[in-house]
Amino acid sequence: MAMSGQRKCLCCEAFFFADPRNRERQRYCSNAQCRLASKANSQAAWLAQSQNIDYFCGRVHVQRVQAWRAAHPGYSRIKPTKATKADVATPALQDPLIAQVPDSIEESPIRAEMPEFSDSAALQDLLNAPTPVLAGLIAHLFDVTLQDDIASTTRRLVQMGHDLIDRSRHENRQTSAAP
């Protein structure tokens, strides 16, 4: 038997107290399954309206979505989740791997002897300590958002760095060899 102010859930038929801010419209309790049923019912009612039947198809609606996305760049990017106390207290499952540079690369004065970076190398393999700051900086400066684009840009930057280092080593050897 329901107490005063209680309602019967349309999904599970259990009695519940409606939220005071939404008391007039709330028809479902706060259980997860009932909330899913409420969402499905709301969507079905919305789609049943004549003006909403073709809302998700047709050239006009594709252009509407494209215009909205152009007006709101970056909206679809994944936002960081808030860390909970449990996340902060939990130690890392894996220590960061710091890649070691082979001695042959450091001693090689000739560019032809240096190993090339393959296109299949992962972004994580190219960097000593991959950080979100570096990935974000590359994404911001070069206006790329896909990991493949970030990886190719990183490869290009690493190659440019090697070229600069080789050029400076070559110039240092020439100046030190000259009397």
pLDDT (tens digit per residue) in 63-78: 988 999 999 888 877 6
Whether the Cβ atoms of residue 22 and residue 38 lie closer than 8 Å to each other: no
Q: What is the model's pTM?
A: 0.37
Quote the CA–CA distance of 42 and 48 in Å, as a whole number. Answer: 10
Minimal CA–CA distance to 156: which of 123, 114, 108, 109?
A: 123
Quote the CA–CA distance of 165 and 150 in Å, as a whole number. Answer: 22
Answer with the residue of higher pLDDT: 1 or 71. Answer: 71
pLDDT at 167 over 50: yes
Quote the CA–CA distance of 9 and 11 in Å, as a whole number. Answer: 5
The alpha carbon of 152 is separated from its chain's Cα centroid by a whole number of angstroms, namely 17
Per residue in 25-53, pLDDT tens?
999 999 999 999 999 999 999 999 998 88
Query: What pLDDT score does 129 carry?
Result: 46
